[in-house]
Amino acid sequence: MIDYTGLQYKKVLVLGLAKSGVAAAELLHELGAFVTVNDAKPFDANPAAQSLLAKGITVICGRHPEDLLDEGFELIVKNPGIPYSNPIIADAINRELPVITEMELAYLVSEAPFIGITGSNGKTTTTTLLFEMLEYGQKQPLIAGNIGTVACSVASEATKEQVLVTELSSFQLMGTRAFKPHIAILTNIYEAHLDYHSSFEEYAEAKFAVTRNQDGQDYFIYNAQQPIVVAYAAKSKAQRIPFTTSGRAAEGISADATSIYWQGEYLLDRSSIVLPGEHNLQNILCAVAAALLMGCPIDAMKDVLATFTGVKHRTQFVRNWQGVQIYNDSKATNCLATKSALTAFSQPIVLLAGGLDRGHSFEELRDVMGNVKAVVTFGETGSRFIEFAKSCGVEQTVAATNVEDAVMYAAKLVTAGDVMLLSPACASWDQYASFEIRGDLFIDAVMKLT
């Protein structure tokens, strides 16, 4: 850890605990700051707050006092999930107090360089794939941020010989000021999280923060197929590395039907890549470009690409059952994600879909339903999805009670050469607490097929 003294003797408020808040409070305390933690959960039912109090950190629990900022704080570190409309945060901004997230703290104390990966879709797959490439290439990577361990905890232990591979949400990036990754990746930008951000423009600006402080010694890998991303990339001061899957390009990293190219020159064949889908090819290009910039051997990248079957719940290959390839894409909680999954396969598909009914249309899927031979639905949107599927010409439709029941029906509809795909196009909360639980139950049911 860098001997950082910029926060010594400063009064700092940590708003909201969870893992990131606890890690931030502990790190601030270690850096010599006078730390106060405020969390809505009552103290008696708050083991994290009790632990921090035992370490000498001031704790205010069970409420958010309106006059909290009158204590003279010089910095606010907020949990990324707390919106900027929160009264305390709004008051802090009105008082011109700096408000950051723990990712900024991690950057300030880290000896290791950062790779920052953000985007509306593809972050987790890109982050995981890059981490495995760097690990296989013996580059001593550490994974943190939105997946893995809280960044503060990792950064405080990292050495300058290592590299931090971080997945970054817009919530985290909006709370950065000095953050400057050596390599930044922006996979794509689609409208999202407008219940948190005041507008799409604010959301996009938060994503662009990943390259905002970069300079000519850094690299920015970005989606050359999205005009909005290209427009933002033009503002970056880093060395720009565009990626595209629309054919061989003279600059950056690109792919056609058979090969991947680096700066216009052949790099490797696509034939040995096992992860399906154009959307995943974009993630692969991002990871390969960053690995190359970090000096990772090409053979290490090839070995990972030949074995990497996906991140759990994200077009994850589960098993081959009687000649049927079965995939778990429970993370597909909207039509855009399901559209990407459906376009990943040329084989006939038995699609398992449905979930929380937010009233949104499924029309976005109409032009990719051609390979869907049957649909098995569950959840609140089940009947609406069946109606939509029939309007697309899908003749076989079944309404199941839940995802496990849906697997049993789907098993009777598939034949050798088909794909069974869970890609719900809906959130899980009508029946399951998370998409992870939904996906795990799907996997369990699939593994029980005999």
Does 354 carry a binding-site annotation? Answer: no
Does 10 carry a binding-site annotation? Answer: no
Does 310 carry a binding-site annotation? Answer: no
pLDDT, residue 190, reads: 87
User: Tell me: domain 316-447, CATH 3.40.630.30, correct?
Assistant: no
pLDDT, residue 309, reads: 86
Amino acid at site 12: V
Does 159 carry a binding-site annotation? Answer: no
pLDDT, residue 311, reads: 87
Does 145 carry a binding-site annotation? Answer: no
> Which tokens go with 18?
């969870």
DSSP secondary structure string for all residues of 159-216: -TTSEEEEE--HHHHHT-SS---SEEEE----S--TTTSSSHHHHHHHHHHHHHT--T
- Spatial distance between the Cα atoms of 381 and 386, rounded to a whole number of angstroms: 9
On whether the CB atoms of residues 180 and 115 are closer than 8 A, the answer is: no
User: Tell me: domain 104-305, CATH 3.40.1190.10, correct?
Assistant: yes
pLDDT, residue 147, reads: 83
- Spatial distance between the Cα atoms of 4 and 2, rounded to a whole number of angstroms: 5
Does 123 carry a binding-site annotation? Answer: yes
CA geometry: angle at 314 spanning 313 and 319, to 5°?
A: 70
On whether the CB atoms of residues 420 and 329 are closer than 8 A, the answer is: no
- Spatial distance between the Cα atoms of 146 and 103, rounded to a whole number of angstroms: 10
Neighbours of 370 (CB within 10 A): 12
Domain map of the chain by residue range?
11-100, 104-305, 316-447
Does 121 carry a binding-site annotation? Answer: yes
Fold observed for domain 11-100: Rossmann fold (3.40.50)
Q: Give the pLDDT of the chain (450 residues) as one tens digit per residue.
A: 887 889 999 999 999 988 899 999 999 999 999 999 999 999 999 999 999 999 999 999 999 898 999 999 999 999 988 888 899 999 999 999 999 999 999 999 999 999 999 999 899 999 999 999 999 999 999 999 888 789 999 999 999 999 999 999 999 999 899 999 999 999 999 877 777 788 989 999 999 999 999 999 999 999 999 999 999 999 999 999 999 999 999 999 999 999 999 999 999 999 989 998 888 999 999 999 999 999 999 999 999 999 998 888 999 999 999 999 999 999 999 998 999 999 999 999 999 999 999 888 999 999 999 999 999 999 999 999 999 999 999 999 999 999 999 999 999 999 999 999 999 999 999 999 999 999 999 999 999 998
pLDDT, residue 4, reads: 84
pLDDT, residue 52, reads: 96
